[in-house]
Amino acid sequence: MLDIKNLKAKLDEEDKQILNGINLKIGKGEVHAIMGPNGSGKSTLSKIISGAPGYEPTEGEVLLNGKNLLDMTADERAKEGVFLAFQYPVEIPGVNNGSFLRMAYNAKQKYQGNKELDPLEFEALLEEKLKLLNMDPSFLERSVNHGFSGGEKKRNEILQMLVLDPQVVILDETDSGLDIDALRDVAEAVNHFKNEDKAVIIITHYQRLLNYIKPDFVHVISKGSLIKSGSKDLALELEEKGYDWLVEPVKA
Amino acid sequence: MSQKKIEDIANKEYEYGWKTDIEMDISPKGLNEDIVRLISKKKKEPEWLLDFRLKAYRYWLTLEEPTWSKVNYPKIDFQDIHYWAAPKKKVTLDSLDDVDPELKRTFEKLGIPIVEQKRLANVAVDAIFDSVSVATTYQKKLLEHGVVFCPLSEALENYPELVKQYLGSVVPHTDNYYAALNAAVFTEGSFVYIPKDTVCPMELSTYFRINTEGAGQFERTLIVCEDNSKVSYLEGCTAPAFDTNQLHAAVVELVALEKADIKYSTVQNWYAGTPETGAGGIYNFVTKRGKCIGKGSKISWTQVETGSAITWKYPSCVLIGDESIGEFYSVALTNNFQEADTGSKMIHIGKNTKSTIVSKGISAGKSANTYRGLVQINKSAKGAENFTQCDSMLIGSKCSANTYPYIDVRNSSSTVGHEAATVKVSEEQIHYFEQRGIPAEEALGSIVNGFCKDVFDVLPTEFAVEANQLMELKLENTVG
């Protein structure tokens, strides 16, 4: 479903290459974990896919069902079905969280030629999703992420995911800053969401989240290159041994 | 998406930049006593008003053009302006049917129907074209309630005593340079009189259109609200896109007697000049002031300032009556090369008077946006209260925002609160919207509207939507 081919990228303002030709195929119904040390390029990959400012792909393509995402604007990519749960969701004072959700939902509905919902219809759609995440409806009355705790922000990301029902989900260190209850709620929501038509990419440092959401494949990125792929056992091995044995192999 | 994404959302072409071709009676360029006399004669004014004008003109001659504001513009040549420009065909104000169809079409095109029983059925409109009023709707219906709503020149004919009593009573010609100029050469404006114990049954609205190149517009609006009465008034403004900058120097005077309540809203969308250089935009130098004379009276200014090359104005309240209330709610948006130096003055004189100032300044492009305000609490104003909030929003990295709050408290029983914040719209915020499927322009519109909500909420409902859309138009292409 998502096919990353020889993807190279750099920062807008520097010439230094930060992705050195990543190749990765992610099929329908699969869960892939991407791990690696700090600064290895894990988050850069998610930013290039979402079209974030400041990052520039220099070579390769990212195909979603055969369409190159890199040729689309960031909002088109989202409407085609790519969802990024941000590592640090930004605060947007003055913009009502409920209205924001509806605006996003209706943007997608419109794009796909479906009916847009009025506030009352939308409220009904939200009800069950809020319950799933143990979120109080008062969340909707606040400004987007404004003054939210770390856990509230992450729950809000997952709520957006449930509402927008994307095809490909990238969870960028969603487990960081979460207490154990929030981690469980988030993991359950993702498990509830995923099915044979969805693909999930989990970017993480730790095994913790992978105890709840079982990956089919685990990849290690280091210095902008994908250096190892394996099954979920690889994550356990990394938990035990760290990255050093992969990054700098002991010379014979 | 490039780095300058947020910096380019604002260059939607000005949609009111066209000109009406109509035969005009235009005075020669230049300003002297003969021109002042000519204007007075054209308007068939009484002797006292000519004296009023001449006194102001002679006083103006003694003044220097002020330079204390933050705005920068080349020195204005006051001899290079037409002070009188009116459609040639005689305008009879007896019936709306007599209005020149060309002028009717002009205002129709601007979205201002000067026919009754159409869109905005609950709004009476006075349409002013360069130096004269071309039509005023619903006058008869309003008169049934004792409400007078007409061009100032008509008021001089029918209610000379009222005009004489109040004209210049709030903004005397000695007030400032542009107030003196306006008093000398004002040509038209609206007059509103609400008698005792009357709630005006409709929104009143004046729409100002500048059409003649090289003409200045100097209108003068006077609103008098008697005891226990209430009125809501709105002004709108547009002008064609010319190559040369044009001067608009208006005076607005409000008088609120006991428990009277005046709400004055402005949606200002004068031509701002070309996006590339700012050439041809309007210089909008306006003096607006209200006097809360009566006990418990209230004056509320709401403004949405999006146009003009230069905006220089401070709608103010003089709170004389005990327990009187002054309010100022403002959104000022500047883009490209626009400059705005705007804010409010609240002068507390009566006991337990209250004032509120909420100012939201938004700067984009290479523009400069300044809030300047004065809260003065006199010794006599025991127990007075003021709350001021002035927030600035920056879009892009080439614009600037400044705030100059002046606070002068002369007694110990008053309370003054001041809050200020500056926010910058970040690319991360825009991207967050985009990643949820919302295009960048809508994202910026949504952030800006959220920022302005406190002000939009107090606009008359008929115009809140319009203001909202206007902001979005003005910001188009700021994110590119």
What pLDDT is recorded for position B118? 55
Q: Which helix (H) or strand (E) holds B422?
A: strand B415-424
Inter-residue contact A173 to A206 (CB < 8 Å): no
| Interface list for A 197-226 with B (CB within 8 A) | none
Task: Please give, rounded to a whole number of angstroms, the shortest distance from the CA of B449 to a CA of chain A.
Answer: 8
Hey, what amino acid is at B133?
Answer: S
> CA B393, CA A18: separation in Å to the nearest integer?
34
Residue A169 has pLDDT above 90, yes or no: yes
- Which residues of chain A have a CB within 8 Å of the CB of B453? 94
Within 8 A of A103 by CB-CB distance, chain B residues are 438, 442, 446
Nearest residue to B150 (alpha-carbon basis) of B124, B127, B126 = B126
Mean pLDDT, rounded, of chain A = 91
Q: Yes or no: say if A172 and A202 are a contact pair by the CB < 8 Å rule.
A: no
Whether residue A72 lies within 8 A of chain B, CB to CB, comes out as no
- A-chain CB neighbours of B439 within 8 Å are 73, 75, 107
Which site among B331, B424, B434, B444 would you substitute to test the A interface, given the most A Cβ atoms closer than 10 Å to its Cβ? B434
The residue of chain B with its CA nearest to that of A52 is B431
Give the mean model confidence (pLDDT) for residues A14-26: 90
Please report the pLDDT score of residue B6 as a whole number. 43
- The predicted-structure confidence for A176-219, as pLDDT tens digits, reads as follows 888 888 899 899 999 999 999 999 999 998 888 888 999 999 99
Q: Give the residue numbers in B contacting A (CB under 8 Å), as ranges.
A: 1-3, 5, 423, 426-440, 442, 446-447, 449-451, 453
Contacts of A160 in chain B (CB under 8 A): 436
* B345 Cα distance to chain centroid: 15
- Among B5, B436, B453, select the one facing A53 at the smallest CB separation: B5
A75, B439: Cβ pair inside 8 Å? yes
Which chain B residues have a beta carbon less than 8 Å from that of A75? 433-435, 437-440
In degrees and rounded to multiples of 5, residue B331 shows phi and psi of -120, 120
B426 vs A contacts (CB less than 8 Å): 90
Note whether A92 contacts B447, CB cutoff 8 Å.
Answer: yes
- Residues in B closer than 8 angstroms to A112, CB to CB, are none
Buried b (16+ CB within 10 A) or exposed e, A68-84: ebbebebbbbbbbbbbb
Percent of chain B with pLDDT over 90: 47
Q: Closest Cα to residue B188, out of B213, B163, B220?
A: B220
- Structure token digits, residue B217: 């517009």
Partners of A108 on chain B (C-beta within 8 Å) are 437
Cβ atoms of B4 and A54 within 8 Å: the answer is: no
A12/B437 Cβ within 8 A: no
Tens-place pLDDT, residues A50-96: 999 989 999 999 999 999 999 999 999 999 999 999 999 999 998 99
Residue of A nearest to B446 (CA): A95
SS3 B161: helix
Strand partners, A34: A203, A219
H or E segment to which residue A209 belongs: helix A208-212
Residue in the block written with tokens 């709630």: B199
Whether the ipTM is more than 0.90: the answer is yes
**Partners of B406 in the beta sheet?**
B374
pLDDT at A252 over 50: no
A236 backbone dihedrals φ, ψ, rounded to 5°: -65, -40
Q: Which pLDDT score is estimated for B240?
A: 67
**Are B5 and A164 within 8 A, CB to CB?**
no
pLDDT at residue number B193? 97
pLDDT band (50, 70, 90) for residue A105? very high
Q: Per this entry, what is the length of chain A?
A: 252
Question: What is the rounded distance in angstroms from the CA atom of residue A109 to the CA atom of residue B432?
Answer: 18
Q: Do B3 and A53 touch (CB under 8 A)?
A: yes
What average pLDDT does the segment A133-152 reach? 91
Q: Which class for B238: exposed (0-12), middle (13-18), buried (19 or more C-beta within 10 A)?
A: buried
**With an 8 Å Cβ cutoff, are B442 and A103 in contact?**
yes
Please count the residues of chain B. Answer: 480
User: For residue B94, what are the contacts with CB-CB under 8 A and spacing of at least 6?
Assistant: none
A83 contacts in chain B (CB < 8 Å): 435
Gap from A157 CA to chain B (nearest CA, Å): 10
Chain B nearest-CA residue for A90: B429
Which residue among B427, B430, B438 places its CB closest to the CB of A103? B438
**pLDDT given at position B8:** 45
The pLDDT tens digits of the residues spanning A106-138 come to 999 999 999 999 999 999 999 989 988 888 999
0.80 cut: is pTM over it? yes
Rounded to an integer, what distance in angstroms lies between the CA atom of residue B249 and that of residue A208?
Answer: 68
C-alpha distance from residue B479 to each of A71, B12, B58, B448 (Å): 18, 12, 50, 13
Dist. CA A157–CA B242, nearest whole Å: 50
Q: Cα–chain-centroid distance for residue B375?
A: 21
Interface membership of A84 toward B (CB under 8 Å):
yes
CA distance B196 to A184: 67
Across the interface, do B434 and A78 touch by the CB < 8 Å criterion?
A: yes
Residue-wise DSSP of B292-356: E-STT-EEEEEEEE---SEEEE--EEEE-STT-EEEEEEEEEE-TT-EEEE--EEEE-STT-EEE
- Average the pLDDT over A33-47 and give the result: 90
- What is the C-alpha end-to-end distance of chain A, expressed in Å? 40
Q: Give the whole-angstrom CA distance, residue B375 versus residue B372.
A: 10
B421 to chain A nearest CA, in Å? 12
- A126-135 contact pairs (CB < 8 A, 24+): A126/A98, A126/A101, A126/A163, A129/A159, A129/A162, A129/A163, A130/A159, A132/A162, A132/A188, A132/A189, A132/A192, A133/A158, A133/A159, A133/A162, A133/A185, A133/A186, A133/A189, A134/A185, A135/A159
**Interchain CB contact of A51 with B (< 8 Å):** yes
Please name the residue of chain B whose CA is at the shortest distance from the CA of residue A54: B3
How far apart, in whole angstroms, are the C-alpha atoms of residue B480 and residue B477?
5
- A12:B2 CB<8 A: yes
pLDDT at position B224 is 97
| Cβ–Cβ contact A55 with B under 8 A | no
Count Cα neighbours of B128 within 13 Å in the Cβ-side half-sphere: 30
User: What's the distance, CA A171 to chain centroid?
Assistant: 3
Task: Note whether B437 contacts A79, CB cutoff 8 Å.
Answer: yes
- Please provide residue B320's backbone torsions phi and psi, each rounded to the nearest 5 degrees: -90, -50
**What parts of chain B have a pLDDT lower than 50?**
1-11, 480
Token pair recorded at residue B78: 């006051």
Q: pLDDT at residue A139 above 50?
A: yes
